[in-house]
């Protein structure tokens, strides 16, 4: 029997706009053949599990955002597909490579404590047992004053308040999916040894920001400049970043799990094209000389109500 069509639904967004917290889990899975029903049921139960694990720890701020990849959307829910949902597009530049890797479902779990993130992750995997294969699982953490493992403050220009909602949430341009968002995820591994050979001034020229304060510097060709995308009106187009560090020093692993929410993934994709392929004004992002992308996937994050309708009933209500 073909999957059901998508109902027209309005509702609350998932906690895309939530605070980063002190801990996070990024879980990406593919749905095995025959696992579609279990995947839908897990997505339907997710809000209840989140409430159950949050109740004994109200100060932990536990949230979970679930996203669905393009191929999984077709298998789980059929058509119509959200207007801008497609598989992540690989980018092969002259020096750097943005890979496209498998991913049907994304679970982005955040809290102030790692134990509640762990507990919810374990419950999700219990629901998907025998129905899905884990492609990537990263347990991340806040590092000092919102710094990455290269020592720089991350997310300094994130929009806040109404601007964050305007940046991250789909509006009337795709009314059936209003309140949703598009999430691009990439796992980056850093060459910290090479990075630490640079002076602070050299690092600042690469990043385009002061290391101590995060303030923007005049640094042509820097990471900051390459990542600045202007719209038709000349204004800067923005995304909502929720990246967090992860690592295992004993294995020489130091990384950043990049996740960007946007109402239109083309904005994030334009940034990535500029980073990996270069711009008319110059070469690719100099930060990529020290950071390597090892995953890349695009997901649509339905509104909370649409996710509940789709997943719990498998058909329009």
154 is catalytic: yes
Q: Which of 223, 182, 159, 158 is nearest to 13 (CA)?
A: 182
How far apart, in Å, are the Cα atoms of 146 and each of 26, 195, 212, 227?
Answer: 18, 19, 12, 19
Round to whole Å and give the CA distance between 102 and 246.
21
Place of tokens 């129905």: 131
Q: Catalytic residue among 154, 264, 285, 309, which?
A: 154
DSSP 175-235: GGGTT-EEEEEEEEEE-HHHHTTS-HHHHHHHHTB-TTT--B---TTSHHHHT-EE-TTSP
Q: Which residues does 251 contact at the CB level (< 8 Å), separation at least 6? A: none
Which residues are tagged catalytic? Answer: 154
């Amino acid at each position: 029997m073909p999957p059901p069509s998508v109902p027209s639904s309005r509702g609350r967004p998932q906690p895309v706009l939530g605070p980063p917290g002190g801990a996070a889990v990024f879980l990406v899975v593919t749905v095995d053949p025959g696992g579609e029903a279990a995947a839908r049921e897990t997505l339907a139960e997710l809000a209840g599990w989140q409430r159950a694990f949050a109740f004994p720890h109200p100060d932990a701020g536990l949230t979970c955002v679930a996203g669905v990849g393009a191929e999984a959307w077709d298998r789980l829910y059929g058509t119509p597909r959200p207007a801008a949902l497609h598989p992540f597009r690989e980018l092969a530049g002259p020096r750097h490579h943005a890979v496209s890797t498998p991913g049907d479902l994304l679970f982005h779990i955040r809290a102030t404590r790692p134990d509640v993130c762990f507990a919810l992750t374990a419950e999700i995997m219990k629901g998907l047992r025998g129905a899905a294969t884990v492609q990537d699982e990263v347990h991340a953490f806040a590092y000092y004053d919102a710094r990455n493992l290269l020592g720089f403050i991350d997310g300094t220009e994130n929009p806040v308040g109404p601007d964050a909602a305007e940046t991250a949430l789909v509006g009337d341009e795709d009314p059936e999916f209003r309140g949703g968002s598009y999430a691009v995820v990439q796992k980056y591994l850093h060459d910290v040894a090479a990075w630490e050979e640079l002076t602070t001034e050299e690092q600042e020229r690469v990043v385009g920001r002061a290391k101590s304060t995060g303030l923007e510097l005049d640094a042509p060709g820097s990471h900051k400049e390459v990542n600045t995308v202007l719209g038709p009106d000349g204004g800067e187009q923005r995304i909502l970043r929720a990246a967090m560090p992860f690592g295992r020093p004993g294995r020489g692993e130091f990384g950043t799990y990049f996740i960007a929410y946007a109402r239109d993934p083309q904005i994030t994709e334009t940034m990535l094209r500029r980073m990996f392929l270069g711009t008319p004004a110059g070469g690719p992002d100099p930060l990529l000389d020290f950071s390597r992308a090892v995953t890349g996937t695009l997901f649509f994050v339905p509104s909370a109500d649409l996710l509940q309708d789709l997943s719990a009933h498998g058909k329009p209500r």
